């Protein structure tokens, strides 16, 4: 709650002598309000109400004009802490966006190197095993076991490389990458995944990555916690936004277990924030199951893509 009496006291002292000291006092008053968790609208409204009362109590037009000018400066000083917080948040969003870009770029590089280099080494290993099997027939059963182990290594490396950065996302776009993700989950015997919708063309790379990672994390939560047999990913491109919704037929977000699936989803907010996107999740009221929905405005996508080109 704001202390109107304290605001009035500081304002009257400022009007009496609007020097540097009293400007700092006004700024400190705003900083205290910010640290106490007073919202910017509530704080600005409280200060403005005190200023209005003071103006009404002023006798002459000339005095009101003088008070109004000084009060404007006072209001700006009272809001200075909030302005700093907004600037800091803006800078943090930019830094976060660049960090996410670097992480995705590193994942893409590592994934491709893992796939290419590991594939070359495995091919060489298979050739050497083939030669060894022909050179010594007695070693064939053992070499066959080694070959089977290498098959498992190859399968795991492909999966890890795909999780770091699916090549289909870069080469073909969001929908093929989501379908490949669903097939991968089904192949591992987890759940059946249906992917529906259309992006009506390619989206900006940061948007595709954000939507893909959201679907990936949501499906991971479904597999780990939901006890579901089926999940659906639906992508809808509308006039001003693109939306990705993941639903399942599992147990939903139970109260006792609510934090467990939420923690990773909360982290996705940081990925979506630079795009102006939002994420919602919860249980489906009409049936069993849960829902995760991400929305990204297309105007933010265009701005983001332009900034990436300019960098």
Q: Mind listing the pLDDT tens digit for each residue in 130-176?
A: 777 676 666 767 677 777 777 777 666 666 665 666 777 878 889 99
pLDDT for res 142: 66
Please provide residue 169's backbone torsions phi and psi, each rounded to the nearest 5 degrees: -65, -40
Q: Which of 246, 245, 251, 235 is nearest to 287 (CA)?
A: 251
pLDDT for res 244: 94
pLDDT for res 249: 87
DSSP letter (8 states) at residue 57: T
Structural domains of the chain ordered from first start: 4-78 (no CATH), 173-311 (3.30.565.10)
d(CA 269, CA 294): 9
pLDDT for res 67: 87
Strand partners, 218: none
227's tokens: 């006890």
Strand order of the sheet with strand 241-248?
192-198, 230-237, 241-248, 290-297, 278-283
* 160 Cβ neighbours under 8 A, 6+ residues apart: 111, 114
Is the CB of residue 248 less than 8 Å from the CB of residue 260?
no
pLDDT for res 211: 92
d(CA 190, CA 184): 9
- Residue ranges of the chain with per-residue pLDDT less than 50: 1, 255-261, 300-311
d(CA 119, CA 113): 9
pLDDT for res 307: 43
Whether this prediction's pTM lies above 0.85 is answered by no
The count of other CB atoms within 10 Å of the CB of residue 15 is 18
């Amino acid at each position: 709650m704001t202390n109107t009496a304290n605001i009035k006291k500081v304002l009257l002292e400022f009007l009496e002598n609007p020097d540097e000291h009293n400007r700092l006092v006004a700024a400190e008053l705003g900083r205290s309000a910010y640290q106490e968790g007073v919202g910017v609208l509530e704080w600005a409204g409280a200060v403005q109400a005190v200023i209005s009362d003071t103006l009404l109590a002023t006798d002459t037009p000339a005095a009101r004009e003088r008070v109004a000018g000084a009060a404007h400066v006072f209001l700006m000083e009272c809001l200075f802490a909030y302005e700093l917080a907004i600037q800091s948040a803006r800078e943090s969003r930019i830094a976060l966006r660049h960090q996410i870009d670097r992480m995705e770029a590193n994942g893409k590089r590592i994934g491709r190197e893992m796939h290419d280099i590991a594939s070359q080494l495995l091919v060489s290993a298979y050739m050497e095993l083939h030669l060894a099997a022909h050179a010594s027939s007695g070693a064939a059963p053992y070499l066959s076991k080694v070959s089977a182990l290498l098959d498992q290594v190859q399968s795991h490396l492909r999966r890890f490389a795909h999780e770091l950065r699916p090549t289909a996302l870069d080469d073909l776009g969001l929908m093929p990458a989501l379908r490949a993700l669903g097939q991968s989950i089904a192949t591992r015997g987890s759940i059946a995944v249906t992917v529906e919708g259309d992006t009506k063309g390619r989206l900006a790379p940061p948007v595709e990555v954000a939507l893909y990672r959201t679907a990936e994390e949501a499906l991971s939560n479904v597999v780990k916690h939901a006890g579901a047999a089926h999940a659906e990913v639906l992508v809808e491109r509308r006039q001003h936004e693109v939306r990705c919704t993941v639903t399942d037929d599992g147990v939903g977000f139970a109260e006792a277990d609510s934090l467990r699936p939420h923690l990773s989803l909360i982290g996705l907010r940081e990925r979506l924030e630079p795009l102006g996107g939002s994420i919602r999740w919860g249980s489906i009221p009409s049936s069993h199951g849960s829902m995760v929905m991400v929305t990204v405005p297309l105007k933010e996508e265009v701005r983001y893509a332009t900034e990436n080109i300019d960098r």
